[in-house]
Structure 1
Amino acid sequence: MTRPAPDTGTTGPIPGVPGAPGVPDAARAQRHILRVLVTSQLLSGAGLAAGVTVGALLAQKMLGSTSLAGLPSALFTAGSALTAVAVGRVSQTRGRRPGLAAGYLTGAVGSAGVITAAILDNPVLLFVALFVYGAGSATNLQARYAGADLAHPSHRARAVSTVLVATALGGVAGPNLAAPTGNLAARVGVPALAGPFLLSGAAYALAALVLAVRLRPDPLLTARALAETDPAGTATAGTPEGSAEGRGGVVLGALVMVLSQLVMVAIMTMTPVHLHDHGHGTAASGLVIALHIGAMYLPSPLTGRLVDRYGPLRIAAASGLTLLAAGLLAGIAPGDSVALLALALGLLGLGWNFGLVSGTAIINDTVPLATRATTQGVVDVSIAIAGATGGLSSGLVVAAAGYPVLALTGGILALAVLPAVAATARRTKSP
């Protein structure tokens, strides 16, 4: 008796997998899936970056204190932790499409809540809304895994990078729209600092719509279907579940991404506040954050090729060194030098990119399809917690010791990835 092919979101026989009705050709499906993901990431990138630009400033204005200016970042990264688990579980059981679409829609609801809180001048509602808004950030990161589900092992990092680079285009535009959206908000009776959340809400809602309508066939369900019809295929190969190598790979991949996120969020969160305290306006902060977001995502195609060619361990080590350089430069740069701070934030984004792409590649190479989405969700929880820790502690550190101390500490902390990579490399070479 022939076992029916799993539902991948398509109907009827599709060429490419003989004898498997309803299972699409992997290469053709992958091209379509990447196009849809790129479109959704263009939108969600703008939504993510817009909120990041003014979140700390909005909290500072409402609370009248710098020490809690890092709380918004901590809240929406904490919210992203909860969403990462939910998106991972929904994706594991029902596919990437419903998981990602629901995550972005939740982010849009959070954006509306932030706007309402700003109108009412209600800090409690602001913090609750920022927590919900974090769903968009988690979903934005989870989308990179969808890009790799159907990719050949030798091209997985490049597939991840294709999804990430799409986020850059929206991410660069988002912060630079902070001032115009603020002016628009003021004209309609909304506080100017809440203006970017008008953009983020609309962007997240549109991203959810694109995925709900167009992400067919579902990449994860299709990968499982192909694995069942062609068990000897390599497109979805991974390390056997439960092996020591698999567990070690998950730990290393998570560590690389956790350190990258912790250092990046901590320094990034307080840079707009640092600029504001030295007399610079929202436009200057928007420019610096735009360059930072661009550096986080635009190098992704190159990073993906480097990972596929030289292996993720070397690029993970490069992440730690680049983040160190960013922290050192941000720490010694004069507060009135927008150019030097922009360069430092650019290096910060590049180091994060190296860490995210290499860490994601390690996870994808070691986790089997049977548990892939769930494991990815759990890993992203640790990333979100690291971001929340960085965001919350950043304001406290700056209030107690100043921005330079925060930047230098973050750069030094990033070096912790080097011994972990070295230990893994030694185990890999051992007979």
Structure 2
Amino acid sequence: MLDRSESALRVVVRSKFYRSAFLALLIAGIGLSAATPQLTLFLVRDLGTPLPVAGLYYVTNLAAPVAGFLVGRWSDRSHDRLLWFRVCAVIGSVGWLAMAAAQTVWLPFVISTVALSLAGGSMAQLFAACRDELSRHPTKAENRVIATIRMAFTVGWILGPVLGSWFGGVFGLRALLVATAACVFAQMLPLGGQRVERYEDPGISPLPEGRRRLDHMMPLLVFTAICVLAMTGDTIKFGYLPIYMAEQLHVSDSVRGAVIGIQPLLELLMLPAVARLADRYGPLRIMTVGAALGLAGNIAYATSSSVGGLFLGQALTAGLWACVGALGVSIAQQLYPEGVGTASGIFLSSIPLGSAIGGAIGGIGVAIIGLPHVFFVPAGLTTLALVAFVVLTARLSVRMKA
């Protein structure tokens, strides 16, 4: 019998693979978050890219869903789940090294579209391997186990920007990209030579082909599309909230940093609570609550005339991202159990896809309605996501684990 009160931390500590996955995500999170905020600066300062062109860099994220699907499909046909994790990590390391050596404006765009999109599959396949292990060794704390492992990546994203700013300032941006390449490669080291065999549930039919495959994937695709709607505000926030605080609210650099930095910290603190609630009430219901928090956060941004309102918006938005981080990949895997690697890849590609769409919407919205009212646009999209989550929860409640 499964023990509902089982400690997720104890499960993770006792498992060599879960411990290794935690360390791998921590290393990857530090490396990626150190470089990502500096990429536009690298394009402009080191390569002489015009600022409007540099802003288009994030459009390369549109390739992520295709890469996520391909890597996931290959993974679901491989015997060792970690094979494609390692392949993606090597591709990513080479891609970041090529980025550091780039001398022309177009090369980073090609590298991001091809190499870094494929490299993004490493995290997805690590979570697919976690699902295989959870299937072999079931626990009622599975949402909390995934959330505990996911916390490592969030910690990396708290530490990385600070370390990246310092490292780039001391050694230069090209050296920072080399360091990111080293971190992307080093995420393989905690796992050593471990193998995770792909789990085949005898109660689940083999992967279907053709039209039947698409029909089976439809709940997953719908869920991913809803998450994209809910996440579009994040790029707008990072792109324009600092400008709003600096030019219209005239707050200090330290306060601006505090406002931006509070979200990942709160998200980290919320992850275990979100997972525990999901174990009790069901993950889709809690994701619906997360969408409601995201909606409230965008409204807080759009209506704030003081820093206090922005802090409130960040706290509410942290609730949305805690739900996405703790539950998103697990829900995706449950919606498409025939191919958990494909499910993981498709869902995690929704994050860069939402970033690309949010960037485009933000640029147009700021030009038309200005700051801070541009946040009414993601508020409207999150409203659609909230309604869609309610409908999806009602239709899929039977097949989701309560």
Match of 2:83 in 1: 98
Q: In structure 2, what is the Cα distance between the partners aligned to 1:299 and 1:46?
A: 20
- Measure the CA separation in 1 of the matches of 2:178 and 2:246: 22
Query: Post-superposition shift, 1:410?
Result: 1.1
Aligned residues: 377
Contact kept? 2:336, 2:343, Cα under 8 Å: yes
Q: Which moved more, 1:172-181 or 1:49-58?
A: 49-58
- Name 1:262's counterpart in structure 2: 232
Following TM superposition, by how much is the alpha carbon of 1:50 offset from its aligned partner in structure 2, in angstroms? 1.6
Determine if the alignment matches structure 1 residue 201 to structure 2 residue 181: yes
Aligned equivalent of 1:32: 16
CA distance in 1: counterparts of 2:305 and 2:38, whole angstroms: 22
Maintained 8 Å contact 1:68/1:392: no
Residues 3-57 of structure 1 show CA distances to partners (whole Å, capped at 9, x for unaligned) of xxxxxxxxxxxxxxxxxxxxxxxx8998222111101001011122122322344
Q: Relative to structure 1, is the Cα distance of residues 73 and 238 closer, same or farther in structure 2, using a 3 angstrom cutoff?
A: farther
Change (3 A) 1:115 1:285: farther
Task: Please name the residue that 2:130 is paired with.
Answer: 147
Residue 364 (structure 1) aligned with residue 333 (structure 2):
yes
When residues 133 and 345 of structure 1 are mapped into structure 2, their CA distance, relative to the original with a 3 A threshold, is farther
CA contact (8 A) 1:40 1:207 kept: yes
Q: Secondary structure at the match of 1:165?
A: helix
Deviation of residue 366 (structure 1)? 3.0
State the distance in 2 between where 1:429 and 1:86 align.
29
The corresponding residue for 1:9 is none
State TM-score, norm by structure 2. Answer: 0.78
Q: Is the contact made by 1:295 and 1:347 (CA closer than 8 Å) also made in structure 2?
A: no
Change (3 A) 1:173 1:356: closer
Q: Structure 1 residues 210, 319: CA separation in 2 closer, same or farther (over 3 Å shift)? A: same
> Which residues in structure 2 correspond to 1:257-406 (within 5 Å)?
257-271=227-241, 289-333=260-304, 337=307, 341=310, 344-368=313-337, 370-406=338-374
Residue pairs, 1:63-212, within 5 angstroms: 63-65=49-51, 67-68=52-53, 70-75=55-60, 77-94=61-78, 95-117=80-102, 120=103, 122-131=104-113, 132-151=115-134, 152=138, 154-185=140-171, 190-191=172-173, 196-211=176-191
Q: Quick check: 1:167–1:297 contact (8 Å CA) kept in 2?
A: no
Residue type at the aligned position of 2:233: V
Q: Gaps spanning 5+ residues in structure 2: where?
A: 1-10
**TM-aligned CA deviation for residue 123 of structure 1:** 2.3
2:5 aligned partner:
none
Query: Distance between the aligned counterparts of 1:145 and 1:69, measured in 2?
Result: 34
Equivalence for 1:51: 35
Q: Which amino acid aligns with 2:342?
A: T
SS in 1 for 2:195: coil
The answer on whether the counterparts of 1:52 and 1:73 sit within 8 Å (CA) in structure 2 is: no
Name the SS of the counterpart of 2:188 in structure 1: helix
SS of equivalent residue, structure 1 residue 217? coil
The separation in 2 between residues aligned to 1:136 and 1:272, in whole angstroms, is 29
User: Is the contact made by 1:270 and 1:395 (CA closer than 8 Å) also made in structure 2?
Assistant: no
Instruction: Report if aligned partners of 2:124, 2:344 keep a CA contact under 8 Å in 1.
Output: no
Superposed displacement of residue 277, structure 1: 6.1
How much has 1:86 moved relative to structure 2?
A: 3.7
The 1-side partners of 2:164 and 2:12 are apart by 39
Q: CA deviation at 1:416?
A: 1.3
How far residue 280 of structure 1 moved from its aligned partner, in angstroms, is 8.2
- Mapped partners of 1:405, 1:160: distance in 2: 36
1:217 aligns with 2:199: no
Shift of 1:326: 2.0
Contact 2:25 2:153 in 1 (8 A): yes
SS in 1 for 2:327: helix
| Cα separation, partners in 2 of 1:195 and 1:289, compared to 1, 3 Å | farther
Contact 1:326 1:348 in 2 (8 A): yes
Q: In 2, distance between residues paired with 1:351 and 1:391?
A: 19
Identity %: 21
> What amino acid maps onto 2:181 in structure 1?
G
For residues 284 and 57 of structure 1, the distance between their equivalents in structure 2, rounded to whole angstroms, comes to 22
Q: Do structure 1's residue 250 and structure 2's residue 215 form an aligned pair?
A: no
Secondary structure of the 2:85 match is helix
CA distance in 2 between partners of 1:373 and 1:318 (Å)? 27
Q: CA deviation at 1:275?
A: 5.8
Superposed displacement of residue 196, structure 1: 4.3
C-alpha distance 289-210 of structure 1, shift in aligned 2 (>3 A):
farther
Counterpart-to-counterpart distance in 1, 2:376 and 2:385: 16
* Residue identity matched to 2:229: L
- 8 Å CA contact 1:331, 1:408 repeated in 2: yes
Q: Residue 382 and residue 28 in structure 1: after superposition, are their counterparts in 2 closer, same or farther (change >3 A)? A: closer
Among candidates 380, 388, 400, match of residue 420 of structure 1 = 388
Q: Secondary structure at the match of 1:33?
A: helix
The 8 Å contact of residues 85 and 121 in structure 2, kept in 1 or not, is answered as: no
Structure-1 separation of matches of 2:44 and 2:252:
14
Q: Gaps (5+ residues) in structure 1?
A: 1-26
Shift of 1:104: 2.4
